[in-house]
Structure 1
Amino acid sequence: MHLEPRVGARPATSSEGPHRQLDQQAPPGIWGELVAKVFDLEGVSEGISQVSPVTSRAVYLVDLEEEAGPGTSLAPGRRPEPVHLHGVQDTSVHLVLPMARGEELVRLGWAEPHQYADFGTEFLIFGPRDSDELGTVLSIIEESLAFARSAA
């Protein structure tokens, strides 16, 4: 999917764990809409993240019990967790993508590499600031879920 560059400066992010977005958070209504749309996607379930603070919500694939391949989960060696949504005070998303696609999103201003990447496939996606960005972030999440399934 072709994406236009994200408009404006990149948000500030933490330099120490947990990796989070410090400004330009999604407005609560936009964030709530994104969360609802993510958990309305076919084939996903909501759970507690295995690797992120308790305010995060894990996105699990109902049809995948084991990682499809290295770098396809934020929780290597555990139940596959390709995406987790951070809390409303943060509004960023951690997810996995093919390295080249993630690097493209970094160049376009939508992402940055995860601070604690094991495989180079882990990225932080900035929270959507408006409804147009909500659609973009949702499409990136859908790409991540497809990537997590594709290596199977």
Structure 2
Amino acid sequence: MSVSIPVDLAAPPRRPGPRPTTTNREIPHDQLDQFSPPEIRDALVAYARSLPGVFTGPSQVSEPASLALRLHRPTGPWEAFLHPSRDEFGHIHRTGFLHLTVPAEFVAPLREANWAEPHPITLRPEWPDTIVMFYAPRDEAELAVATAVLHASWQRAGGTN
């Protein structure tokens, strides 16, 4: 399965179809339909694990069944992490959607193109406004956008963006 299609996150392609249904509340902030097929989620997890310095395990900030994406050497700014963790920049839920931090300049374009929604917790002043739910990719084209977002999040958390 290929995930190397270049994607411009400042002007992403529009996500096909309607937005998924979500709980639209802080806890739990879940996606309720339009899940990833197992092979697409597996490819997303494999891509995340291939990023240098990333290790995975149970989330420190979400349900333990979600797969945390953590860095051995986190050097990015405060808004690059899911708090209170100091090294978890995202996690992948069992159904394929992600909660992760993205560079601030990509939050609005991703929302406007129907790829993501701000996490409701970002309404609190003590939380960064860079935390989003990125909807579960359903096919290879959507996986390309998901991996591009994941890459941007990883770069920011690692201090290279």
Same fold (TM over 0.5): yes
For residue 78 of structure 2, the aligned residue among 70, 74, 79 is 70
Kindly indicate whether residue 18 of structure 2 is the aligned counterpart of residue 9 of structure 1: yes
1:2-151 to 2 correspondence within 5 Å? 2=8, 3-16=12-25, 17-64=27-74, 68-76=76-84, 78-87=85-94, 90-117=95-122, 118-150=127-159
Match of 1:133, SS?
helix
Q: Percent identity?
A: 35
Q: Which amino acid aligns with 1:91?
A: G
Displaced runs of 4+ in structure 1, greater than 4 A? none
Which has the bigger relative contact order, CA under 8 A and spacing at least 6? 2
Query: 1:136, CA displacement in angstroms?
Result: 1.2
CA distance in 2, matches of 1:100, 1:15: 22
CA distance in 2, matches of 1:137, 1:15: 20
User: Does the Cα contact within 8 Å between 1:21 and 1:91 map onto a contact in 2?
Assistant: no
Query: 1:151, CA displacement in angstroms?
Result: 7.4
Please provide the CA RMSD for this pair: 1.7
Query: 1:20, CA displacement in angstroms?
Result: 1.1
Query: 1:139, CA displacement in angstroms?
Result: 1.0
Question: Which consecutive residues of structure 1, in runs of 5 or more, have no partner in the other structure?
Answer: none
CA distance in 1, matches of 2:114, 2:108: 10
Match of 2:15, SS?
coil
User: Does the Cα contact within 8 Å between 2:40 and 2:143 map onto a contact in 1?
Assistant: yes
Q: TM-score, normalization: structure 1?
A: 0.88
Q: CA-to-partner distance for each residue in 1:23-45, whole Å, 9 max, x for gaps?
A: 00011111112112211222211
Q: CA-to-partner distance for each residue in 1:87-110, whole Å, 9 max, x for gaps?
A: 1xx321011112231121001111
Q: Which amino acid aligns with 2:80?
A: T
